[in-house]
């Protein structure tokens, strides 16, 4: 019975014709690829965290610059946008500019990670 079982599995002792070390070379290559991908992802992540993204609102009256780490680097407000009678509009323009800059940072990060992983979703 042992002989028949071996033949059904590829005739090489149940290894499907790969031999005792055939699968290990492939595993080593996969590990090297995974390590390379991890290094590339770490480098790209660091670059994206330091990169700056700018967005404006109110027709350019308010401009926000944020980093990929969502830190506000600068906020420029045109003096004409300051109306003591309508502070809410200025607040809305500031929020819109900051939020759009953060969305740009997130979109850039997502695109970069998709390029590195070939579009595969990773568990982290």
pLDDT band of residue 34 (cuts 50, 70, 90) is: confident
Element (H, E) at 106: helix 87-117
- Return the pLDDT at 98: 98
Per-residue pLDDT tens for 64-106? 999 999 999 999 999 999 999 999 999 999 999 999 999 999 9
Instruction: In the chain, count H helices and then E strands.
Output: 3, 3
Beta bridge partners of 55: 64
* Contact status, residue 47 vs residue 40, Cβ threshold 8 Å: no
- Chain-wide mean pLDDT for the chain? 83
pTM value? Answer: 0.67
Q: Where do we find the tokens 């992983």?
A: 117
Distance CA 107, CA 103 (A): 6
In the chain, what are the domains?
A: 53-119 (3.30.1310.10)
């Amino acid at each position: 019975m042992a002989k028949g079982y071996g033949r059904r599995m590829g005739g090489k002792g149940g290894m499907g014709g790969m031999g005792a070390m055939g699968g290990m070379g492939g595993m080593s290559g996969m590990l090297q690829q995974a390590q390379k991908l991890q290094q590339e992802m770490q480098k790209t992540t660091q670059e994206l965290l330091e990169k700056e993204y700018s967005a404006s609102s109110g027709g350019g009256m308010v401009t926000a610059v944020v980093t990929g780490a969502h830190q506000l680097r600068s906020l420029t407000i045109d003096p004409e946008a300051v109306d003591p009678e309508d502070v809410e509009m200025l607040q809305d323009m500031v929020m819109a500019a900051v939020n759009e800059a953060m969305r740009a940072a997130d979109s850039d990060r997502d695109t970069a990670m998709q390029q590195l992983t070939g579009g595969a979703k990773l568990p982290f």
